[in-house]
Amino acid sequence: MKTINFTVLLLFNIHSLFAQYNIVYPSNHSYRIAEGIFTDIIGEPNGDAYFGSVAWSLDPIDYYGFTEVTKVNKSGKLIWSKGVTDSIPWKSTHPHAMHRLRNGNFIINGGIYSDSGWVKSEWYGVFDKEFNLLSSHAYPHDYYYNDVVQFLEHSSGDLVFCGIRGIKSDRRNVGLSKAKASVFCTDSLGNLKWDYEFWDTTLTNHFSYFNYLTEDHFGNIYVCGQNNNYNTIDMNGIIAKFDRQGNKLWYKEYNNPDIQERYMYCKEMQDGNILLLGSSFTRSNRGSILVNHISPDGDLLVHKTHTNRYATFYWRCKETSDGGIVCGGAEDDDKDDRHNGWIQKLDETGEPLWEHSINASKSEKAFYNLGLAEDGGFYFGGISFLPGINESRNWLVRTDSNGCVVPGCNPVGVTEKEYHKESFLISPNPAQDYIHVYINDADHYEEEYEMTLYDSYSRIVTTQAISGRVTQIDIATLPSGIYYYRISKKNKLMQTGKLIKVVSN
């Protein structure tokens, strides 16, 4: 009986440590406000998490916005929330992404409005572990609306950003007349190294912008997005490739007549080709998830769609520790103009594994960003609109590894065995002091393998024998950065992949 009681208590403690939740946070402002989570959610090993949000005043006379960073505990309860705009000598910021740098600090990127009016500059800020501002960097241009949408810490140590640069319309009460997709690179101190725009259009109502960027195992950079022509209601996916020195190698636009398409995510696959994920819309707003495979030269190899519904789309995706991809966005399958938060897990090639539609109240809502939890679960953050008062609030959901808010749920398409891209799982990744190499198939526990770890210059930094269910490898002495691994058996290559080493606490 004592053994049973102890087991029950142990299971309860484990469940409470990695509890799931679905929370719409009340506003701490006394005036009418619109709030939403727009940055990545960053999880800690103890279950705490950070997210960045925007709050807009709805006062028609004194309209303004500011950025807050919030820390919550393992149950989603508020620990603290602080404004980061107050530390910046500008009017307000609008963040889109937040990441932990390899040195342990945090970076937030987006756009920043100047006191001279509604002129928005590309911006990022670096913060310490308590989110005190260490440095702020603004990059103004001769445009009205400039924004950094996504960020990449390159293996070289440089910082690469992508987004949009817009030109103000001459017509009153009209925002932008045209916009260019932008990508630029700075060193670790914020000094500009290279900068590109696509393209120098003179056509009114043409809008191009980049939504995501990634790095392949050679250090090349891929940046993807969309080109909109509002004169013809066309939208095409775009992607550009740069070498590690910032030289443009090529730029591609893929035109699918009578279909509107955009790219929201890209990554290198195991075969060396590039996966592109996004959305595909018909003229009647019928939405599907877009999956493209292209070669390293930009040749289109695969073009397909899945999850064909009304107004279904991704906002953000992330690679998971098992080699799959998890995405968050919104869906409206009933044509009632009321979106629900929507999440989907895919394999490495973009095939769907499971999905969930998540709601918090009878109102419209959507996920705009997400994060990975230390136990294999996920965070999804976005906006929950409050019916009747035309305000919105921060909405945060934490799920288990199957996307369940309630343990044991049955997501569409889920299988009993969690997906793994190959025979081995490397966890945690990113890692600080050690990694575990799991052999996923019990039939191969007795076999012997070898794992070799390379730095970004292809130099061998460690080699380790692997056997049994799990092998622990010490990486505490390695410098922070991006590493590449090869797992082989008697000189036969079994699996390759990327490992990120972060600064130890």
User: Do 472 and 436 touch, CB atoms closer than 8 A?
Assistant: yes
Residue 476: inside a domain, yes or no? yes
Any idea of the CA torsion for 400, 405, 406, 407, to the nearest 10 degrees? 0
Q: Note the pLDDT of residue 87.
A: 43
d(CA 1, CA 280) in angstroms, rounded, equals 58
Distance CA 247, CA 243 (A): 5
Q: Please report which helix (H) or strand (E) contains residue 234, including its range.
A: strand 234-242
Higher-confidence position of 395 and 441: 395
pLDDT given for residue 369 in this prediction: 95
Give the pLDDT confidence of 67-76 residue by residue, as tens digits.
889 999 999 9
Domain span including residue 480: 424-501
Query: CB burial class (10 A; 0-12, 13-18, 19+) of residue 387?
Result: exposed
Which has more confidence, 480 or 42?
A: 42
Domain of 492, CATH number, reads 2.60.40.10
**Alpha-carbon gap, residue 495 to 483, rounded angstroms:** 14
Number of separate domains in the chain: 1
Tokens describing residue 146: 């400039």
Q: Alpha-carbon Rg of the chain, whole angstroms?
A: 23
Residue 300 tokens, joined:
């289109």
The reply to whether 442 falls in a domain is yes
| N-terminal to C-terminal alpha carbon distance within the chain | 41
Residue 122 falls inside a structural domain: no
| pLDDT the model gives residue 90 | 42
- The residue among 503, 378, 341 whose CA lies nearest residue 49 is 378
Are 438 and 428 within 8 A, CB to CB?
no
Q: Does the structure show a pLDDT above 80 at 17?
A: no
Tell which residue, 289, 295, 257, 251, has the closest CA to residue 275.
295
Residue 63: predicted pLDDT: 61
Mean pLDDT, residues 7-32 taken together: 63
Closest CA to 405 of 460, 462, 340: 340
Instruction: Encode pLDDT of 170-193 as tens digits.
Output: 554 446 678 889 999 999 999 999
Does residue 443 sit within a domain? yes
Task: In whole angstroms, give the CA distance from residue 15 to residue 19.
Answer: 6
- What is the mean predicted confidence (pLDDT) over 196-204? 71
Model confidence, pTM: 0.77
pLDDT band for position 11 (cuts 50, 70, 90): very low
Q: Phi, psi at residue 207, to the nearest 5°? A: -130, 120
Burial status of residue 249 (CB atoms within 10 A of its CB: 0-12, 13-18, 19 or more): middle
> Tokens 């394999």 sit at which residue?
347
Query: Considering the domain boundaries, does residue 232 fall inside one?
Result: no
For the cut 70, the answer to whether the pLDDT of residue 152 exceeds it is: yes
In-domain check, residue 224: no
- % of the chain residues with pLDDT over 70: 81
Q: Is the pLDDT of residue 89 over 50?
A: no
Burial string for 109-143 (b: 16+ CB within 10 Å, else e) reads bbbbbeeeeebbbbbbbbbeeebeeeebbbbebeb
pLDDT in tens, 247-288: 999 999 998 877 889 999 999 998 999 999 999 887 666 678
For residue 477, what are the contacts with CB-CB under 8 A and spacing of at least 6? none
The mean pLDDT value of the chain amounts to 82
Tell me whether residue 461 is in a domain: yes
Q: Which residues neighbour 217 within 8 Å (Cβ) at sequence distance 6 or greater?
A: 268, 484, 496, 498
Q: What angle do CA 361, 367, 370 make, to 5 degrees?
A: 130
pLDDT bucket at 294, cuts 50 / 70 / 90: very high
Q: Is residue 446 part of a domain?
A: yes
